[in-house]
Chain A
Amino acid sequence: MKRILSGVLAGAMLLALCACGGDSSAPAETTAAGTDAPAETTPAEASTELNIYMWQQYISDELIANFEEENNCTVNLSYMSDNADAITKLTAGGGQEYDLIMTCDAYMESLIAGGYVEKLDLTQIPNSSNINEAYWTAKDYCVPYLMNYIYIVYNTETCPIDITCYNDLIDPALKGQISTIDGARNLFPIALIALGYDPNSTEESEIAEAYEWLVKFNENVVAYGAAEQNLTNGTASVALTYDGNTSWAMSEMGENNTLVVADPFDDAVQLGFDLYVIPTGAQHTDLAYKFLNYICDPEAMAKNLEEYPYSCPNDAAVAAAPESYRNDPARNFSYKENVFFQEDVGEALTIYNDYYQKLKVGQ
């Protein structure tokens, strides 16, 4: 009985797999091959597939297609839904599955210390000379892709006040008006700066004070996340968000755009980088290097920027980008130098998380 059923089952599975291979041959076949043929990557012959783990809606399909054509290979993109997903993949031996993983600058220190990322041979990435050194932390281990300012945008028609510093965000006039990014390590620095402390403070008393500030801020928040959506449909009049998302929102509003970046602004804003690392033990490093070199190419990157209008550390690409990108009102603000970076806070992370949870649990 059981044997017959298991036979039937095996047959069904086989059929399903065949059907799967027939219809969308590339990914299905590589799944089968990936597990039992790591020997594929003998140095003599070039790899034919590249597995990248990154954000969804963050790289142009055209760029990927061109790279595939030039190098006669298949690029498999898979997507994370949280920055932590990338860290989970990296610390769980991501090299087995991925050749390139996107992460951000704040994690680099621990990742290098933990030996989770490969040291890069920059001579294999000649185009990397286009990247502005000022924006390149942990230079030997990563290649920056795009970068994000976390700043304040508001709707001149609906926002009751002019915003020039973080303390304006706790003005009771803004009750239920703010759409903001989420996460302990994104929110607390804002409060710490507003209070005049180091944005990467490890002092519990300062974090506790920041918590009190955020409680007031929380009163004014309508939603965490989905800033573009809330700005464009009128749910929020103020947003604490990334410049790339602001650019979307502004172009989405088109002619009737009433969104402006808060400028002048007295406080430092957070600047973060999304960068690529090669996880330890990656299988197709030859292609990974070629890809890193390709995204540093000014022409290729300029085209990508047209579609994904985020700030970019690649100066040559920015220069080659079209007028519309360079004059984008979302990136036209005067305080680009007044920035701070998110740093590893070590054990203090638990303090941040405790207060963050307390903030979200409320009374």
Chain B
Amino acid sequence: MSTRINDTTDLQAISRKRDLRRKTLPALAQAGPVSVWMILFVTIPMLYIIYISFMSRGVFGDVVYEFSLESYQTLLDATYFKVILKSLQVALFTTVLCLLLGYPFAYYIARKPPEKASRLIMLIMIPFWTNSLMRLNSWLLLFQTSGPINNFLQWAGITDAPITFVYTDGLVVLGMITNMLPFAVLPLYSSIEKLQKSLLEASSDLGATPRETFFRVTLPLTFPGIFSAVILVFIPSLGIYTVSDMLGGGKVLYIGNIIKNQFGSIRNWPLGAALSVLLLVITGALIFLYTRFSKLEDMEVV
């Protein structure tokens, strides 16, 4: 450093250099990997999906790169409208049930001491380290016509003939809930846990009934958790197809099945891509409305 720093341009250069070291480099090192990953493996593939949805199908089910709106015209068919409506219904039903079941459960865990709470949370996740298909199959084995439940009911004299539990909507709902419940409980737990006890005490000290405290304090303050829970349950439920295939007997097609089939047995990739885009638009629109409505920007998980 023999040069004396008189020159303003020098000063600027040095400050720019310091800026680079203090701000730009760390920013690059920290946000760089995630940005590159997202652009490479999310942005580009999604753009490509949109691109393909405007192409046409070849004879062997390959993609022919000629512009066509055919796939989107196909979507106007009433069948797809029904499929989407049905899928939305199931996803909504699952989400509401998971929230109703999950909130008291998360509340229960959050009121435990931290050590115990983290163990209880762990206990929710352990079943998920076995395979989801195996767990679904377990429900079938349990409820099938000559299965333990039916045997017990007959033995106890509750029923004479075996009851058909398998391949009913009830079993599908049970399967959906056991697969999705943890994704509701985790964010709910996280937001309830952050809730300060003093606030609740203050509310009750000020004469609020437990019900008032819950609806005026607890519920509004845990809204971010509810928001994340809704997203984490609703969206995967919308695209899932293994549950209805296995427990519902494959009698009903959902949007997930139809997309899978377009890329699989039917081999109409442009239509599959167009359906994917449609699903993206629907979920995007729902989330947009939802965030607008609830005035939330960030979501929390765990």
Chain A: residues with CB nearer than 8 A to chain B?
1-2, 82-85, 87-88, 91, 110, 113-114, 116, 176, 182-184, 218, 221-226, 229, 233-235, 346, 349-350, 353-354, 357-358, 360-362
Contact = CB atoms under 8 A, between A and B. Distances in A.
Nearest to A353: B266
B253 A361 contact: yes
A122 to B, nearest CB: 26
The 3 closest A-B pairs by CB, nearest first: A223-B249, A224-B250, A84-B265
Nearest to B165: A235
A221 B145 contact: no
Contact of A235 (B164, B250, B251, B268): B164
A233 B140 CA distance: 11
Given A2-B29, A224-B250, A361-B82, A235 B166 contact: yes
Contact of B265 (A82, A110, A222): A82
A244 B21 CA distance: 70
Contacts of B32: 2
Contacts of A87: 61, 267
Contacts of A229: 140, 144
A346 B58 CA distance: 11
Contacts of A362: 252
A85 B146 contact: no
Contacts of A354: 77, 79
Given A82-B264, A82-B265, A225 B86 contact: no
Contacts of B127: none
Given A82-B264, A116-B60, 13 more contacts: A1-B29, A91-B62, A224-B250, A225-B249, A226-B249, A234-B144, A234-B145, A354-B79, A360-B257, A361-B79, A361-B86, A361-B252, A362-B252
A360 B241 CA distance: 13
B250 A234 contact: no
A223 B33 contact: no
Contacts of A91: 60-62
A224 B253 CA distance: 11
Contacts of B33: 2
A91 B167 CA distance: 35
B61 A233 contact: no
Given A360-B252, A361-B79, A183 B265 contact: yes
A79 B265 CA distance: 16
B279 interface: no
Interface in B225-281: 245, 249-253, 257-258, 261, 263-268
Contacts of B267: 84, 87-88
B156 interface: no
B60 A110 contact: yes
Given A1-B29, A235-B167, A88 B144 contact: no
B59 interface: yes
A222 B168 CA distance: 9
A235 B253 contact: no
Interface string B66-87: 0000000000010100110010
B279 to A, nearest CB: 16
A218 B251 contact: yes
Counting contact residues on chain B (CB < 8 A from A), the size range is 35 or more
B265 A83 contact: yes
Contacts of A235: 144-145, 164, 166-167
18 contacts: A2-B29, A83-B265, A84-B265, A87-B61, A91-B62, A184-B266, A221-B249, A222-B167, A223-B249, A229-B144, A233-B144, A234-B144, A350-B268, A353-B261, A353-B266, A360-B252, A360-B253, A362-B252
Nearest to B262: A353
Interface in B120-174: 140, 144-147, 162, 164, 166-167
Contacts of A224: 249-251
A1 B26 CA distance: 9
B23 to A, nearest CB: 14
A223 B268 CA distance: 26
B79 A222 contact: no
Contacts of B245: 225
Q: B26, B83, B249: which has the most chain A beta carbons within 10 Å?
A: B249
Contacts of B59: 110, 114, 346
A233 B60 contact: no
A187 to B, nearest CB: 12
B145 A85 contact: no
A354 B62 CA distance: 19
A211 to B, nearest CB: 12
A56 to B, nearest CB: 13
A85 B265 CA distance: 8
Contacts of B263: 88
Contacts of B86: 361
Interface in B6-31: 26, 29-30
A362 to B, nearest CB: 7
B146 A84 contact: no
Nearest to B166: A235
A229 B247 CA distance: 13
A84 B264 contact: yes
Contacts of A85: 264
A286 B300 CA distance: 57
A360 B251 contact: yes
Nearest to A114: B60
A357 B162 contact: no
Q: A182, A350, A353, A361: which has the most chain B beta carbons within 10 Å?
A: A361
A225 B250 contact: yes
A234 B253 CA distance: 25
